[in-house]
């Protein structure tokens, strides 16, 4: 494995870590409704567990209500039960074939708890990025030990890896700050 391969690999892995962090942030709800909140909910469909998006259509009815339309009539109570039993604290109401999922208003205390969750997720993402940096530096040291590259090349490559790490950590910090601002907005 060459120095360029190591840099490219660590950059791609760091980007994947940031994408995973963005997905985690999307699941943390703010005061507004969005269909992405329900994406991770699993529904029992003929004995197998599938994402809710594979058995129902989700739309926004208004800023605080998500509409869920099951494709099969007999799936309506199953979908409703899955939403109710999820960790989101939502209370869906069925009207015929349509399930309405109102978003309860966030209290000040709940908003503060959510910002702590966002900070914790951000810290986990930073740890993941730093672990990738450590792995890349170990690979570079192994190349020096095997005499495939010089110590100067290793030093330059580790500086580049550090710059990548700093850039990605700054991106994570920026995402955390913007999500906190979004949560604290009443």
What is the model's pLDDT at position 186?
Answer: 64
Domains of the chain: 3-27+107-184 (1.10.132.20), 35-102 (3.30.1360.40)
Which residues does residue 48 pair with via DSSP β-bridges, in sequence order? Answer: 45
What is the model's pLDDT at position 17?
Answer: 92
Question: Residue 147: pLDDT band by 50, 70, 90 thresholds?
Answer: confident
What is the model's pLDDT at position 86?
Answer: 77
Question: Residue 30: pLDDT band by 50, 70, 90 thresholds?
Answer: low
For residue 169 the two structure tokens come to: 């950590």
Q: Residue 29: is its pLDDT beyond 70?
A: no
Condensed to tens digits (0 to 9), the pLDDT of residues 89-144 reads 778 888 888 888 888 777 788 788 888 888 988 999 999 999 999 999 999 899 88
Condensed to tens digits (0 to 9), the pLDDT of residues 45-100 reads 888 888 888 888 888 888 788 898 888 888 888 888 888 887 677 788 888 888 88
What is the model's pLDDT at position 154?
Answer: 87
Question: By C-alpha distance, which of 123, 91, 125 is closest to 105?
Answer: 91
**Strand 93-95 to strand 65-70: parallel, antiparallel, or no bridges (unpaired)?**
unpaired
What is the model's pLDDT at position 117?
Answer: 84
Task: Compute CA distances 140 → 82, 133, 134, 135, 159, whole Å.
Answer: 48, 11, 10, 9, 11
What is the model's pLDDT at position 73?
Answer: 87
**Strand 48-51 to strand 42-45: parallel, antiparallel, or no bridges (unpaired)?**
antiparallel
């Amino acid at each position: 494995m060459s120095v360029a391969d190591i840099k490219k690999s660590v950059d791609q892995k760091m980007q994947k870590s940031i994408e995973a962090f963005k997905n985690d942030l999307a699941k943390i709800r703010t005061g507004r409704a969005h269909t992405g909140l329900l994406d991770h909910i699993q529904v029992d469909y003929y004995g197998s567990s599938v994402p809710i998006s594979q058995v129902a259509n989700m739309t926004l009815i208004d800023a605080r209500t998500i509409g869920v339309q099951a494709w099969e009539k007999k799936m309506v109570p199953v979908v409703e039960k899955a939403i109710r039993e999820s960790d989101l604290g939502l209370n869906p109401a069925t009207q015929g074939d349509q399930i309405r999922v109102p978003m309860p208003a966030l209290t000040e205390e709940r908003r503060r708890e959510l910002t702590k969750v966002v900070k914790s997720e951000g810290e986990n993402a930073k740890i993941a990025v730093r672990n990738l940096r450590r792995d890349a530096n170990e690979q570079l040291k192994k190349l020096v030990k095997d005499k495939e590259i010089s110590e100067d090349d290793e030093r330059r490559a580790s500086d580049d890896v550090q710059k990548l790490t700093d850039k990605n950590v700054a991106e994570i910090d920026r995402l955390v700050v913007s999500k906190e601002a979004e949560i604290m907005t009443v």
